[in-house]
């Protein structure tokens, strides 16, 4: 008898692990896995070093340091107008752990959970591990619009939850006020809970403040908001995230969290609390650098003959290979480009369950200028060699 849970017996490495390994093996420029090349802000480095020297290095409270929970509430009050109390916040070891805690808390055997595709690749396996069934709702390029009829058609008597990733990775899509209102109305009418993966909330380039589904009328008691210091500060390896929900729901989420990682390194929590308390002006230079890199990659790809899809958020741009005159699939392009051109990318088809587009490529732009220029030049030369596969 095989003692391994069947979900994990044949599970392959994630596309991010796969492409990063290929990038390393071939000495390629890695525009696949999403992380910035910028050094950490000196204030954040100083804060974590000071915390290690001066603060406790023993177990912090399971639900998070009170100072960090208060800083999260204040940050959301300033940036998004949300009125949260500290008992509504649970600090987690990254947003992926927050997702796991939310899914394990809320999904029961036989429940159906609605997923908008393309989707972060941990959603479906975690739903299945909790005994639920993921049900896909396919969004379509180039606008990736949320459609009320499509959403309604996916709901059955077994539907209990939906997961909304807004802004949407990999597409960079930001839900409009009308789309958020439609999703909120659907949740209320069908008595659904929404897990809101909002890790990209502070990485927007449309000049608008983030609007959380949690803030929509009727959603305060039926939404779980997930945030990430890794995305806000460009420090992905710090793996510090959080859950925000109503008091009773937050308590239940915290109980699931305590048996996953129990807590998160205290020095990182102290430093994140200090960082969240910084003024908007403190964050502005980082955002300007990311915006400039985004424009540089977009402009370079356009000149090189690639059609870049619109997107207002995240660290990624998407390219439509078919519209760019490239007749091979996104996966074939990615596999060949990392080996033949020395540039790692992510095929968006790897983030779909079921039938979806096979011609969309994701590229990370949070790299320095010379790296972006070199990657674009390599992709330009590679594009000229690509031929339709038999």
Any residues with CB less than 8 A from the CB of 1 and at least 6 apart, and which? none
**Domain-embedded: residue 52:** yes
Report the pLDDT value the prediction gives residue 155, as an integer from 0 to 100.
98
**Domain-embedded: residue 187:** yes
Q: Are 47 and 63 contained in the same domain?
A: yes
What is the SS3 assignment for 42-105? HHHHHHHHHHHHHCCCCCCCCCCCHHHHHHHHHHHHHHHCCCCCHHHEEEECCHHHHHHHHHHH
Q: Are 287 and 228 contained in the same domain?
A: no
* Full residue range of the structural domain in which residue 177 is found: 42-279
Alpha carbon distance 277, 74 (integer Å): 8
Q: Are 230 and 100 in contact (CB under 8 A)?
A: no
- Domain end marker among 254, 279, 304: 279
Other CB atoms within 10 Å distance of the CB of residue 58:
6
Q: How many domains does the chain have?
A: 2
pTM of the complete model: 0.95
The proportion of the chain whose per-residue pLDDT surpasses 90, expressed as a percent, equals: 92
What's the CATH number where 291 sits? Answer: 3.90.1150.10
Alpha carbon distance 283, 287 (integer Å): 7
What letter would DSSP give residue 278? Answer: S
What letter would DSSP give residue 265? Answer: -
Q: Is the pLDDT of residue 253 over 70?
A: yes
388 falls in which pLDDT band (50, 70, 90)? very low
- For residue range 183-220, list pLDDT tens digits in order: 999 999 999 999 999 999 999 999 999 999 999 999 99
1 falls in which pLDDT band (50, 70, 90)? low
**Domain-embedded: residue 116:** yes
Alpha carbon distance 338, 375 (integer Å): 11
> Where do we find the tokens 């659907």?
186
- Domain end marker among 240, 255, 279: 279
Q: Name the burial class of residue 326, with classes exposed (0-12), middle (13-18) and buried (19+) by CB atoms within 10 angstroms of its CB.
A: buried
Report the pLDDT value the prediction gives residue 389, as an integer from 0 to 100.
44
**Domain-embedded: residue 388:** no
């Amino acid at each position: 008898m095989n003692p391994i849970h069947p979900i994990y017996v044949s599970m392959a490495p994630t596309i991010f692990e796969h492409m990063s390994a290929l990038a390393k093996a071939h000495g390629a420029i890695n525009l696949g896995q999403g992380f910035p090349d910028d050094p950490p802000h000196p204030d954040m480095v100083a804060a974590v070093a000071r915390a290690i020297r001066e603060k406790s290095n023993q177990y912090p409270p399971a639900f998070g340091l009170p100072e960090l929970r208060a800083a999260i509430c204040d940050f959301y009050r300033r940036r998004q107008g949300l009125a949260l109390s500290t008992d509504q916040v649970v600090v987690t070891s990254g947003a992926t752990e927050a997702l796991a805690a939310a899914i394990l808390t809320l999904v029961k055997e036989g429940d159906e959970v609605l997923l908008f595709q393309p989707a972060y690749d941990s959603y479906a396996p975690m739903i299945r591990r909790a005994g639920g069934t993921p049900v896909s709702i396919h969004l379509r390029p180039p606008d990736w619009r949320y459609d009320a009829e499509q959403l309604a058609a996916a709901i059955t008597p077994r539907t209990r939850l939906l997961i909304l990733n807004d802004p949407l990775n990999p597409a960079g899509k930001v839900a409009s006020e009308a789309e958020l209102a439609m999703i909120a109305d659907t949740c209320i009418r069908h008595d659904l809970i929404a897990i809101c993966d909002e890790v990209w909330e502070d990485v927007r380039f449309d000049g608008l403040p983030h609007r959380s589904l949690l803030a929509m009328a009727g959603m305060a008691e039926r939404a779980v908001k997930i945030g990430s210091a890794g995305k806000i500060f460009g420090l992905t390896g710090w793996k510090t995230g959080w859950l925000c929900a109503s008091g009773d729901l937050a308590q239940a989420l915290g109980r699931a969290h305590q048996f996953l990682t129990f807590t998160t390194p205290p020095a990182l929590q102290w430093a994140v609390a200090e960082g969240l308390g910084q003024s908007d002006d403190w964050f502005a230079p980082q955002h300007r650098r990311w915006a400039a890199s985004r424009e540089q990659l977009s402009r370079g790809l356009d000149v090189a003959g690639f059609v870049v899809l619109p997107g207002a958020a995240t660290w990624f741009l998407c390219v439509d290979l078919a519209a760019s005159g490239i007749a091979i699939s996104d996966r074939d392009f990615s596999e060949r480009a990392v080996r033949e051109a020395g540039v790692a990318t992510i095929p968006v088809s790897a983030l779909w369950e079921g039938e979806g587009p096979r011609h969309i490529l994701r590229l990370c732009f949070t790299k320095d200028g010379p790296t972006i220029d070199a990657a674009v030049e390599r992709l330009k030369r590679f594009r000229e060699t690509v031929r339709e596969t038999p």
